[in-house]
Amino acid sequence: MSDAAFNPEIEVADVAETAVEPDSLRDVRPVPRITIQAFCETQGVAGPIERMAEDRRMVKAQARVYMGGLGAAVEFYQSAPTPNLIILETTLVPDELMNGLGALAEVCDPSTHVVIIGHHNDVSLYRDLKRNGISEYLVAPVSIADIMTIITTLFTDPEAEPLGRTLAFMGAKGGVGSSTIAHNVAWSIATLFESGVVVADMDLPFGTANINFDQDPAQGIAEAVFSTDRIDEVYLDRLLATCAEHLSLLAAPSMLDKVYDFDAEAFTQLVDVAQRSAPAVVLDIPHVWNGWTRRTLETADEVVIVATPELANLRNAKNMVDTLKKLRPNDFAPKLVINQVGVPKRPEISVSDFLDSLDMDAAAVIPFDPQLFGTASNNGRMLAESDSASPIVATLSDLAHIVTGRGVVATKSKGGLKGILSKLKK
C-alpha cells in the first residue's frame, strides 16, 4: 500500500479504485487508437473518467474531460470534429435529454459512439436511447471499471466488427501518384478529424512512404508479414513509426536484398490486426496484379483507383473497375481519382471523355503541379505542410471526407445518433 492509504485527506473510494485493479479489468485488452471526449456535469463522474484516462490500457487512446454536459458538447462540436466516443453526463430529465440529443445529432458524425451517464434510473428512457442509436446508458455513480468495460465492449470485442475501415489505394499504372495521394489523404484524415490512422506501405521493394514522411524506422511491414503467427496489436505497435499526431506508418524496407513473393493471404492477418488498432487503415498497394494485391482490394472497405488521363490508364482503370465490381458485388464501386491533369505538351484524354468512357464520376481531379509535389517530396513533407493554401490541398481534404464518409452528416440519413434527429422531426 502506498502512503496515500494513510493520508486521511484522500477519500477511501479513491484509494480503493486506483490501488487495486478491479477483477473486471484484469482481462481487458488495451484500448485501440481511439479518441474519447467526455462532457460532464459533476466531479463525481468527471473524476473516474479522468482516472481512467491514465490507465495503462489507455496509452494509445486519447481521452479528454470537459465540464458543461450536453450544452457544452453541442457548442463544442459546431466547430470541432466528433471523436470515436463521446461520453455525456447529464442531469436533464428524460424529455429535455431527448430534445438536447437532437441538437447533438446535427453536429455528430454517424460513426461516433455516444454513451450517456444519467442520474435517472428509468428503464423506458434506457430503451428509448438505445433505440435511437445511443450506445449505452449508465446511471451515476460510475466506477472506472464500469466505463472501461463499456469502452472495451464497444471497441475491442473480438466478436464485434473491427474498429477500423481499410482504404486501399492503387494506381491504374505505375507512377501516377497513387502512393502520394494515399499518404496525403491519410495525413488529412489524421489532421482534420483528429482520428487515428495507420498507413501500410505494401510496396516492399520500392515503397516511398518512408521518403514522403521523412521516416527511417528499423522495422516495419516486412517484419509483420514475415511473422504472421506473431502478429497481434502489441507486436504491431512495436513496428509502427509515428509520423504525426494520430498518424503511424508501417514502412516498407525499400531494399532489394530479398525478393517478395507472397501468397494470396499473406497480408490478411496484418490488415485485420491493424483494423482493430486504429479507426482508419490506409493501404498503399503497388501497381501489380497478383494473388495478394487482388485479395487486398477485394476485402478493403473502400478502394481508390488513381489514374492519369491517358489511354493505357483508361483501359487499365476500366478493367480494374469491372473486375472489382465482380469481386465485390455488394459494395460501392471503387472511387476514381484523376491525377496529373494538364502536363504541358502532353496529348491527354479530356476529363469528361475519360469519365464518360468509364461511366463514373471522379472523387477528385488533381492538376499536374510538379513544383508543389516535387518540393513536398524532396523535403519529406506533406503537400499541406508545403503549401497549405494550394487548391490541391483542399481537394485532398475533400477526398479525405469522401473516403471516410465524413462530413455528410447533414445530407445522409444513416443509423447511429442521426436516427434521433429524424425521429424527433417526425
Binding residues (CB under 6 A) for ligand ADP: these are 171, 174-180, 208, 339-340, 366, 368-370, 373, 377
With CB cut-offs between 5 and 8 Å by kind, which of ligand ADP, Mg ion, none does residue 339 bind?
A: ligand ADP
* Smallest gap from residue 65 Cβ to ligand ADP (A): 41
Whole-number minimum distance, CB 210 to Mg ion, in Å?
12
Pick from 157, 156, 119, 124: which is nearest to 139 by CA? 119
Segment 353-357 long-range contacts (CB within 8 Å, at least 24 positions apart): 354/307, 354/309, 354/314, 357/314, 357/318
180 binds, among ligand ADP, Mg ion, none (CB under 5 to 8 A by kind): ligand ADP
Closest separation between CB of residue 216 and Mg ion, Å? 18
- SS3 call for 186: helix
Measured from the CB atom, the residue of 206 and 235 that comes closer to ligand ADP is 206
Dist CA 132 CA 70 (whole Å) = 16
Task: Quote the least distance from Cβ 308 to ligand ADP, whole Å.
Answer: 9
User: Per CB under 5 A, which of residues 185..214 are in contact with Mg ion?
Assistant: none
Q: Which is nearer to ligand ADP, 111 or 340 (CB)?
A: 340
Could you tell me the three cell numbers for 61?
487512446
What is the C-alpha separation between 26 and 28, in angstroms, rounded? 6
* Cα(344)–Cα(321) distance, integer angstroms: 28
DSSP state, residue 161: P
Contacts of 150 (CB under 8 A, 6+ apart): 115, 135, 136, 138
Residue 90 binds which of Mg ion, ligand ADP, none (CB < 5-8 A, kind-dependent): none
Distances 413 to 80, 109, 221, 410, 420 between C-alpha atoms, Å: 21, 11, 38, 8, 11
- In three-state secondary structure terms, 24 is helix
Q: Which does 176 bind (CB under 5 to 8 A by kind): ligand ADP, Mg ion, none?
A: ligand ADP
Classify strands 136-139 and 165-171 as parallel, antiparallel or unpaired. unpaired
**Closer to ligand ADP at the Cβ: 182 or 224?**
182
Find the part of the chain contacting Mg ion (CB under 5 A) among 63-71, 179-187, 249-257, 415-423: 179-187
90 vs 179, which CB is nearer to ligand ADP?
A: 179
Site for Mg ion in 339-398 (CB under 5 A): none
Name the binder of 373 from ligand ADP, Mg ion, none, CB < 5-8 A by kind: ligand ADP
CB of 175 to Mg ion, least distance (A): 8
The partner in contact with residue 334, picked from Mg ion, ligand ADP, none with C-beta cut-offs of 5 to 8 angstroms by kind, is none
Cis peptide before 158 (omega within 30 of 0): no
Using the contact rule CB under 5 A, the part of the chain among 12-20, 177-185, 303-311, 357-365 near Mg ion is 177-185
Whole-number minimum distance, CB 284 to Mg ion, in Å?
6
Instruction: Choose between 208 and 268: whose C-beta lies nearer to ligand ADP.
Output: 208
With respect to ligand ADP, which residue has the nearer C-beta, 176 or 421? 176
Q: How far is the CB of 170 from ligand ADP (least distance, A)?
A: 8
Q: How far is the C-alpha of 51 from the C-alpha of 44, rounded, in Å?
A: 12
Nearest CA-CA partner of 280 in 199, 165, 386: 165
Backbone Cα Rg of the chain: 24
Q: Is 179 in the site for Mg ion (CB under 5 A)?
A: yes
Minimum distance, C-beta of residue 206 to ligand ADP, in the bound complex (Å): 8
Other beta carbons within 10 Å of 22: 15
Nearer to Mg ion, 179 or 377 (CB): 179
* Residue 11: CB atoms within 10 Å: 10
Scanning 160-168, 175-183, 188-196, 245-253 for contacts with Mg ion by CB under 5 A, the matching segment is 175-183
**Given the C-alpha cell 498507413, which residue does it identify?**
199
Nearest approach, Cβ of residue 178 and Mg ion (Å): 5
DSSP assignments along 147-204, one per residue: HHHHHHHHHT-TTSPPSPEEEEEEESSTTSSHHHHHHHHHHHHHHHS---EEEEE--T
